[in-house]
């Protein structure tokens, strides 16, 4: 199994208690806001410490409460794209991308950044600032930065939530291209059922800090495990045209 997460944490009256595993696939953590999806991503990335559990990628543990392992974020081979993208407004596109691999030597950083600029179709805007480019371009810059150090897993915290529907659908195709190009496990947080259906290999359904169903998008939509899943899916249903890549 590729990425394995077993996480338990109690904070401010909320309890997260989840366990799941994925292979080299695109998995979606789906559920209402506040269900624990982003907290899960932060614990995997090392931005928040679980009370107990583990984060394992193949045979490597990044966190394991039983043996006292807790590697800092910079020592975890995970790329992370935040919901607000977290681009630096005072940095150009090129410098934002370069920041994603600050540990590399200067010559290698520059070469890698130029590879990313070509891969993400950012030629010609390298010297512009985030405020001077389109929403779709900002998305691509954030992904390029997250992939600069060639991570083993890509973690995405609702990066498309602020986009309108046509651009969201474009970004779904873009995400599929990234999966094919970089061939690494991807975990996407979303509460958009159409987005989950369009891009996921596996859906992991969250509710109130628990996993209540796991399966392919078709399995989850056609065969909800219980009333809780059925209500969640029906509450989030979108027009059929949006269930496309």
Residue-range domain boundaries for the chain: 3-77+152-242, 86-151
Structure tokens at 243: 């269930």
Q: Which of 34-43, 62-71, 76-85, 159-168 has the lowest mean pLDDT?
A: 159-168
Strands 69-70 and 60-64, by their bridges, are antiparallel
Question: What are the Cα distances from residue 244, in Å, to 83, 178, 183, 200, 210?
Answer: 22, 17, 21, 11, 28
The answer to whether residue 224 scores a pLDDT higher than 60 is: yes
Residue 209: CB atoms within 10 Å: 21
Backbone angles phi, psi at 196, to 5 degrees: -60, -45
The answer to whether residue 17 scores a pLDDT higher than 70 is: yes
Cβ atoms of residues 190 and 198 within 8 Å: no
The answer to whether residue 60 scores a pLDDT higher than 90 is: yes
What is this structure's pTM?
Answer: 0.91
The helix (H) or strand (E) run that includes residue 107 is helix 106-119
What mean pLDDT comes out for the span 27-34? 94
Q: Which of 160-169, 179-188, 193-202 has the lowest mean pLDDT?
A: 160-169
What mean pLDDT comes out for the span 120-133? 93
**pLDDT-based confidence at residue 160 (cuts at 50, 70, 90):** confident
What pLDDT does 172 receive?
86
The answer to whether residue 173 scores a pLDDT higher than 80 is: yes
Stronger pLDDT, 44 or 104, i.e. the higher one: 44
Structure tokens at 212: 């209540």
By CB neighbour count within 10 A (0-12 exposed, 13-18 middle, 19+ buried), where does 118 fall?
Answer: exposed
Q: In what order do the strands lie in the sheet with 153-157?
A: 78-81, 153-157, 186-190, 26-30, 202-207, 210-215
**pLDDT-based confidence at residue 166 (cuts at 50, 70, 90):** confident
Distance from C-alpha of 235 to C-alpha of 16, rounded to nearest angstrom: 23
What pLDDT does 240 receive?
54
What pLDDT does 243 receive?
57
Distance from C-alpha of 216 to C-alpha of 228, rounded to nearest angstrom: 17
What pLDDT does 244 receive?
61
C-alpha 73, offset from chain centre: 15
What pLDDT does 109 receive?
84
Cβ atoms of residues 188 and 178 within 8 Å: no
What pLDDT does 183 receive?
93
CATH architecture of 3-77+152-242: 3-Layer(aba) Sandwich (3.40)
């Amino acid at each position: 199994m590729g990425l394995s997460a077993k996480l338990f944490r109690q904070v401010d009256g909320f309890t997260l208690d989840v366990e799941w595993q994925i292979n080299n696939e695109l998995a979606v953590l789906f559920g209402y806001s506040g269900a624990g999806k982003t907290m899960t991503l932060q614990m995997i990335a090392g931005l928040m410490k679980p009370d107990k559990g583990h984060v394992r990628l193949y045979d490597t543990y990044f966190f394991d409460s039983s043996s006292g392992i807790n590697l800092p974020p910079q020592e975890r081979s995970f790329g992370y794209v935040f919901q607000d993208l977290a681009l630096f407004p005072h940095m150009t596109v090129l410098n934002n991308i370069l920041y994603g691999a600050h540990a590399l030597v200067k010559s290698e950083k520059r070469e890698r950044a130029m590879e990313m600029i070509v891969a993400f179709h950012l030629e010609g805007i390298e010297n512009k600032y985030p405020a001077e480019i389109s929403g779709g371009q900002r998305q691509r810059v954030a992904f390029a930065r997250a992939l600069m150090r060639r991570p083993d897993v890509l973690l995405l915290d609702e990066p498309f939530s602020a986009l309108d529907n046509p651009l969201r659908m474009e970004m779904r195709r873009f995400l599929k291209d990234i999966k094919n190009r970089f061939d690494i496990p991807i975990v996407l947080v979303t509460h958009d059922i159409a987005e989950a259906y369009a891009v996921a290999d596996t859906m992991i359904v969250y509710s109130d800090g628990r996993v209540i169903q796991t399966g392919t998008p078709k399995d989850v939509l056609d065969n909800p495990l219980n009333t809780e899943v059925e209500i969640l899916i029906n509450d989030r249903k979108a027009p059929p045209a949006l269930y496309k890549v």
